[in-house]
Amino acid sequence: MRRIIPLLTLITILTLSPVLSMSAAQQPLKVAFFGFELINTSLEPTTPAEEARIKQLNDIYRDMLEKSGHYQFVPISPAIQKQIDESTKISTCNGCQLIWAREAGADLAAYGEVQKVSNLILNLNVYMQESKDGHQYFGRSVDIRGNTDETWQHGIRYLVKNYLLAAADQAEKH
């Protein structure tokens, strides 16, 4: 009888381990999203319409990732938000986003940039890094031709659907 109980415990653990690891693998990754920034290197000033488009990108990105089931956004506390507001741009803060993501309890730090070269040429970039070590989880860029609501929305939807979510779906299959 003494040998049977440890043996049954071992069999139970071995039987349940694929279920446990499978459910852990299906848990959405926690994301601390710090939003998009506009980097205007054009000769034209930033317009209120472009500032509104940045907010639209934030909403579209967040909505698409949440609906995918692969990602879950963590709230940014007021203390972290204060640090963000007082710092330089995330793209130039030398890893501050990783610290903030860890403090928020996230697996990934995410942010984006729109570089406006001119009213005809814009570049949309999305970056996701593992908060524990800064390794690049995802990074991709798409060019946008034209400075309209429609082109910005198309750019973010294309990037997320065809690159980020396609990669997540592919990884889930394996």
Average pLDDT over residues 5-14: 40
What local confidence, expressed as pLDDT, does residue 3 receive? 53
Compute CA distances 159 → 60, 73, 125, 127, whole Å: 11, 19, 9, 11
CA 123/CA 139 separation, integer angstroms: 13
Tell me the sheet residues that pair with 136. Answer: 129
Q: Kindly tell me if the per-residue pLDDT of 28 is higher than 80.
A: yes
Q: Is the pLDDT of residue 68 over 70?
A: yes
Alpha-carbon distance 142 to 171, whole Å?
Answer: 22
What pLDDT does residue 150 have? Answer: 98
Locate the domains of the chain by residue range. 28-173
- 112 contacts 104 by C-beta, under 8 angstroms: no
Confidence of residue 114 (pLDDT cuts 50, 70, 90): very high
Rg (CA), the chain: 21
pLDDT value of residue 173? 73
Tokens of 149: 């609501």
Q: State mean pLDDT over 130-147.
A: 96
**Span 35-52, pLDDT tens digits:** 999 999 999 999 999 999
Whole-number Cα distances in Å, 129 to 1, 3, 32, 34:
51, 48, 10, 12
Average pLDDT over residues 93-105: 94
Answer yes or no: CATH 3.40.50.10610 is held by domain 28-173: yes
What Cα–Cα distance (Å) separates residue 73 from each residue in 31, 42, 69, 90?
A: 5, 33, 11, 18
